[in-house]
Amino acid sequence: MAHDTYVQDGKLLYSTDLNALNNSGVDGRVVMLLDQDTQTLTVDIQTSGLEPGPMHIQHIHGFADDSDAKSPTIAQDTDGDGFVELAEGLATYGPIQLNLTLNPDNAVHDHGTEGHDHTDEAVFPTVGEDGKLSYREVFTFAADDPNAQAIFDGITPLEAKEIVIHGMTTSANQGVGTEGEVDGTAGFKLVLPVASGELEGIAPAADVLQAIGDLDLNPNEVVDWNAIAAEVTANFEATGQWFI
Ligand SMILES: [Cu+2]
């Protein structure tokens, strides 16, 4: 795959721009570094527009058969209440595969094998009055832990997966008489999707360097400089200009 060209052996970079769901106004970007050798996933999420106060559940969603997870559209609003609720979105983004929590050592065991679920112990982030989330965690999936290994196998390849962030207040006028979390009761709906994005592998050298910067990593430890130099040379030969 093209996206492993500029990052050293076994390391892959992914990103996605988050799109608002359900008119949440949430915006943001997710960058990930996957180290296949150590089975370590570094996750960086920067968002704005989240509702202050209650926690925002966030996940990697996807399908067990690695078919491509997609962001839902209003076409998934099967109960016609104007909202794509958690269960409605499952049709396009698939089930939860990893809880993106503040306690990753716990999350790497979660949803790993049948009947094994630590959801009650998951700690998800909250945001202050500015509505901004700056999230950075590292998940290590130990190969000798069957649950962790099952989750790692589930979330890879990441380009088939989706990031989904949840949590927004709806009013008593919304979803009256319909199923799902938007059902005419006023209050914060913990599982209502507010943003999603489809992960994509990063290939162009400039985008690789940008992502490394977003992750605050030392490029000398991650980047394949020879491959980047080759791209710069190819750019020059194609255009007469030196650029990354
Ligand atoms: Cu989710």
Tokens (6 digits) for 78: 């099967």
pLDDT in tens, 101-111: 999 999 998 87
Cα–ligand 1 centroid distance for 143 (angstroms): 25
Q: What is the pLDDT of residue 5?
A: 66
The residues that bridge with 33 in the sheet, in sequence order, are 13, 42
Cα 178 to ligand 1 centre (Å): 21
Q: Residue 3 pLDDT > 70, yes or no?
A: no
Helix, coil or strand: residue 183: coil
Phi, psi of 230 (to 5 degrees): -65, -35
- Mind listing the pLDDT tens digit for each residue in 182-192? 999 999 999 99
Whole-number Å distance, alpha carbon 105 to ligand 1 midpoint, is 19
Q: In the chain, pLDDT over 90 holds for what percent of residues? A: 81
Residue 130, pLDDT above cutoff 90: yes
Q: At what angle do helices 205-214 and 225-239 cross, to 10 degrees?
A: 140
Is 80 exceeded by the pLDDT of residue 1?
A: no
Query: Is the pLDDT at 208 greater than 50, yes or no?
Result: yes
**CA–CA separation, 91 and 70 (whole Å):** 9
Cα end-to-end span (Å), the chain: 20
Q: Please report the pLDDT score of residue 36 as a whole number.
A: 93
CB atoms within 10 A of CB 204: 15
Q: Which pTM was predicted? A: 0.93
Rounded to whole angstroms, the Cα distance separating 29 from 177 reads 35
Q: Which tops the pLDDT comparison, 120 or 60?
A: 60
The pLDDT of residue 116 is 83
CATH architecture of 11-202: Sandwich (2.60)
Asked if residues 186 and 172 have their Cβ atoms less than 8 Å apart, the reply is yes
Cα radius of gyration (the chain): 19
Please give the average per-residue pLDDT across 69-85, as a whole number.
96
Q: How far is the CA of 82 from the centre of ligand 1 (A)?
A: 19
- If you measure from the C-alpha of residue 165 to the centroid of ligand 1, how many angstroms do you get, rounded to a whole number? 6
Which residues are CB-contacts of 69 (< 8 A; sequence separation ≥ 6)? 61, 62, 63, 92, 93, 94, 160, 161, 162, 198
Q: How many angstroms is it from 219 CA to the middle of ligand 1? A: 31
In this model, does residue 46 exceed pLDDT 80?
yes
Mean predicted confidence (pLDDT) in 127-132: 98
- Please provide the average confidence, as pLDDT, over all residues in the chain: 93
> For residue 2, what pLDDT is reported?
45
Distances in Å between the alpha carbon of 63 and those of 18, 34, 44, 67, 82?
19, 19, 22, 6, 25
Share of the chain above pLDDT 70, in %: 98
Q: What is the mean pLDDT of residues 154-167?
A: 97
